[in-house]
Structure 1
Amino acid sequence: MFALMIIGALPRMGKTFLLRLLALAAALDPSAELHVYDLRGGADLLPLEPVAHRFRTGDDTDDLAYLKADIRALKAEMARRYKTIRSLPRDVCPEGKVTRELADKRSLGLWPIVVVIDEVQVAFDNDPELVEIVTDLGKRGPAAGIMFLLATQRVDAKSLPTGFSSNPVLRFCLKVTGQTENDMVLGTSMYKVGIRATMFARTDRGVGYLAGEGDEPVIVRTAYLDAPAAEAVAARARAARLAAGLLTGHAAGIDPDPDTSSASILDHLAAVWPVGEEKVWWDDLAERLAASYPGLYGAWSGEQVTAAVRPHGLRSIQIKRTVDGRQLNRRGLARTALAAVLDDRTSDGDYAWPTYTPPPAAPPAHDASPSSPATPDPDPGYQ
């Protein structure tokens, strides 16, 4: 609970069966919201469809667009959760993170969200925006009750980018072929100190090193559930959700409209770029993104915008300005650099910059009066 986990292995060593086993465990908690993706397009995760809030099995354009829209929505959901956590009284949430007790208060909307992705390298390939969002969710999501269980059979830097692979608390490595793959899953220098998943034989299916659950990695044999057994567990989980009135999303026959937008953070930066400005500070760009796209960038800082565009080849420059008579020197972005990257994506090399439209002004604050208190009554869900 409240931890990110990665699973790595050679094909046919039990990686997907372990992923399914963990997802079934989560499914037996009726309050847990499951988002399940099998990007290999196989049948091993199909038993989870009757309980999944979001579900896709496949790697075509529609499947990946559905996944990306879901991940973007989860980022907005994480921002909402942190806002909720900040609003709670200190005696209710003293540590500033979701607990089991808070997760059980449905009025707060902090129930567990478990995202299961098999063959995650398919999603990460050539999509730096998705890598950036999942990395951020992996860092900050668990404290807000959002957890990822990710598996891959292609253990390399492209499948598990460094910014992401350094975050998981829980790591499970079945048989791999070399030191690099071993350490990418289990952690740096594990091979050197003798923790070697390379020693397992092809017959050791379902056996691997588990790191993060105790002081030292241990060899674990996972329980084997075949497809009929998995279906029986999922049926019991669905019955529990129906009884509790907690069957939602895809499992309840409700799916979001497909997201056909191909816009990335580059397009959003172009849309909010101030007219006539050749160089803009990152903090100013973050404010403009948050104002125009609050669901995506509502809680972003200038540093997060910098990190998000770095995979696209954009780098910071120093920008000097005079503000209130003071000379300030901060990092920012040049319009020419953004234009060059955007031009490279178009066939004719001439990107059409949108016209920036400022977001509507916020309505005036409501006057405080005895009949209209300035501070709303506390949510009865946490009294």
Structure 2
Amino acid sequence: MGKTFLLRLLLLIACMDPRAEVHAYDLKGTGDLSTVGRVAHRYRAGEEEDDIAYALADLRELRAELRRRAKVIRELPKDLCPESKVTSALADMRKLGLHPIIVGVDECQKWFEHPTHGGEFEEHCTDLVKRGPALGMTLLLATQRPDSKSLPTGISANATLRWCLKVMGQIENDMVLGTGSYKRGIRANLLAWADKGIAWFVGEGSDARVVRSVYLDAVTADALALKLYELRKAAGRLTGHALGEEPEAGTATSYDLLADLLTAIPAGTSKTWSEDIVARLAELRPDVYGEWGPEQLAAAVKPYGIRTVQVWGTTEDGKGANRRGVRRADVLAAIDRRDARSAKTYVHLTIFKDLHEYVEPFGVAVGGDSLKR
């Protein structure tokens, strides 16, 4: 209850730091984050195919930025970066390009449940949530019920800061705050309907605590965004969407990892070493896979239900060796699962459309989940 207001507040707080680059996605499509869009580097409202293409292009760019930042950090002198992570002092050095990047997504389940691109969204967000914090990149995800479909476990398990506003039951409570929270007395379901903006918060310090967010209605939020726009403009910190510079949806390199894997594991080959796969992928699309190693491959295929296995092979000098690799059959099975999900979604939408046309003349309303008598 109130997650969109809280997400908008967190994004506006991020906008108050003129260094911060904000990416805001309103997958509900109602424009609730439009005030943030005034100063955001990337902003989109909706879940149509062009919106999905826009978001994927942005996430691919962010993954590339993640790799660039890792290289910058790796090459910095230890006296400037002793802990191998971005600090506020390093973020102040504009030439390094290590400014804070904050990505906020409302109704994030729309990404992860997408019948075609859900796996890629999961792949990108898993990498960002795991490696992003040390590199000055933060991912904020909001959803009503973070089960394994709405918020994949590889992402939720690495979500260190969690806010839980009022929820209806124990299960939802523990989904957000962690298993066993309800038994320990951390119970967001006991919040009253009047407790708008009040949440249980975990992740900072050893104990969970109740916090209250600041209430900003749409008019106040928009006035604040206008002020922030002027301050950023004066500081020369407006970029991307805030300057009216909109990349065309899908301008980033479009690729299908599963299809590329079939190229890297050619027909007639049952399984291939991971190191050989990433080498072939790098030749195929150097801008996408150029810096991948076996570890990145293993993380990228996991969201599709593919796991690396032991593969016996022969090295260049003729010696036998057992190394991690991928089975072609597993890639084909993952493609079949994806295609089946896509077909199922199409069938459901078609049935819903036909049902609506049949019953509408009789004054019967068709809801998102049921047919009302």
With structure 1 as the length reference, what TM-score do the two structures score? 0.82
1:269 aligns with 2:257: no
SS at match of 2:297: helix
Q: State the Cα RMSD in Å.
A: 2.1
CA–CA separation in structure 2 for the residues paired with 1:313 and 1:205: 39
Is the 8 Å Cα contact of residues 197 and 213 (structure 2) preserved in structure 1? yes
CA–CA separation in structure 1 for the residues paired with 2:237 and 2:130: 28
Classify 1:70/1:305 alpha carbon distance in 2 versus 1 (closer, same or farther; 3 Å): same
Which blocks of at least 5 consecutive residues in structure 1 are unaligned? 1-12, 348-383
The 5 Å alignment of 1:79-98 reads 79-98=67-86
CA–CA separation in structure 1 for the residues paired with 2:75 and 2:270: 39
Counterpart for residue 32 of structure 1: 20
Classify 1:234/1:97 alpha carbon distance in 2 versus 1 (closer, same or farther; 3 Å): same
Is the 8 Å Cα contact of residues 29 and 237 (structure 1) preserved in structure 2? no
The answer to which structure, 1 or 2, has the higher relative contact order (CA under 8 A, 6+ apart) is 1
Cα deviation digits, residues 179-215 of structure 1 (max 9, x gap): 2221221122211211111111222111110111222
CA–CA separation in structure 2 for the residues paired with 1:209 and 1:137: 25
The 5 Å alignment of 1:269-348 reads 269-273=261-265, 277-323=269-315, 324-342=317-335
1:156 aligns with 2:147: yes
Cα deviation digits, residues 323-367 of structure 1 (max 9, x gap): 2343211121233443454467679xxxxxxxxxxxxxxxxxxxx
Q: Percent identity?
A: 53
Classify 1:319/1:173 alpha carbon distance in 2 versus 1 (closer, same or farther; 3 Å): same
With structure 2 as the length reference, what TM-score do the two structures score? 0.84
Counterpart for residue 69 of structure 1: 57
Which shifted more, 337-346 or 321-330? 337-346
Classify 1:95/1:294 alpha carbon distance in 2 versus 1 (closer, same or farther; 3 Å): farther
Tell me which of 99, 111, 116 is aligned to 2:104.
116
Classify 1:208/1:340 alpha carbon distance in 2 versus 1 (closer, same or farther; 3 Å): closer
CA–CA separation in structure 2 for the residues paired with 1:338 and 1:218: 45
Classify 1:113/1:201 alpha carbon distance in 2 versus 1 (closer, same or farther; 3 Å): same
The 5 Å alignment of 1:116-265 reads 116-126=104-114, 127-259=118-250, 263-265=255-257
Classify 1:286/1:235 alpha carbon distance in 2 versus 1 (closer, same or farther; 3 Å): same
Is the 8 Å Cα contact of residues 165 and 184 (structure 1) preserved in structure 2? no
Structure with the larger helix share: 2
Is the 8 Å Cα contact of residues 122 and 303 (structure 2) preserved in structure 1? no
**Shift of the alpha carbon at 1:278?**
4.0
Query: One-letter code of the match for 2:324?
Result: R
CA–CA separation in structure 1 for the residues paired with 2:232 and 2:9: 18
Cα deviation digits, residues 124-149 of structure 1 (max 9, x gap): 10411211210111000111111111
